């Protein structure tokens, strides 16, 4: 079963392709999404990477958490489920 990881503390210049290439070294990457501001299109400094299995996610976390990418130490952990947000009236 695929497991989604949170990847934080990204440099504004880090690209989705760089993240994908880095995580492919730890296993099968199902998806990689760099989160961007809707107005400016600039990176918000974090991404979500979905690994093919729990074992690959655990390996990717161990391999990448605290390691540098673009001069910044990455924060990698299992993504938490998205919280429900109230609808605006």
Per-domain residue ranges for the chain?
A: 3-77
What is the total residue count of the chain? 89
Q: Which two tokens stand for residue 21?
A: 């290439």
| Mean pLDDT for the stretch of residues 24-52 | 96
pTM here is 0.89
**Residue 88: per-residue pLDDT:** 65
Q: Which conformational region is residue 70 in: left (phi greater than 0), alpha (psi within -120 to 50 degrees), or beta?
A: left
HSE-CB of 43 using CA atoms within 13 angstroms: 17
Q: How confident is the model at residue 85 (pLDDT cuts 50, 70, 90)?
A: low
Count of other CB atoms within 10 angstroms of residue 74: 21
| Mean pLDDT for the stretch of residues 46-63 | 97
Second-level CATH architecture of 3-77? 2-Layer Sandwich (3.30)
**Residue 81: per-residue pLDDT:** 82
Q: How confident is the model at residue 13 (pLDDT cuts 50, 70, 90)?
A: very high
HSE-CB of 50 using CA atoms within 13 angstroms: 6
DSSP state of 67: -
Percentage of the chain modeled with pLDDT above 70: 96
């Amino acid at each position: 079963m695929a497991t989604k990881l949170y990847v934080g503390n990204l440099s504004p210049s880090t690209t989705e392709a760089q993240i994908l290439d880095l995580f492919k070294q730890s296993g099968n990457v199902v998806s990689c999404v760099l989160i961007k501001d809707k107005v400016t299109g600039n990176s918000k400094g974090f991404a979500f990477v979905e690994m093919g299995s729990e074992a690959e996610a655990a390996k990717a976390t161990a391999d990448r958490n605290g390691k540098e990418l673009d001069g910044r130490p990455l924060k990698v952990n299992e993504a938490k489920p998205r919280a429900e947000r109230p609808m605006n009236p």
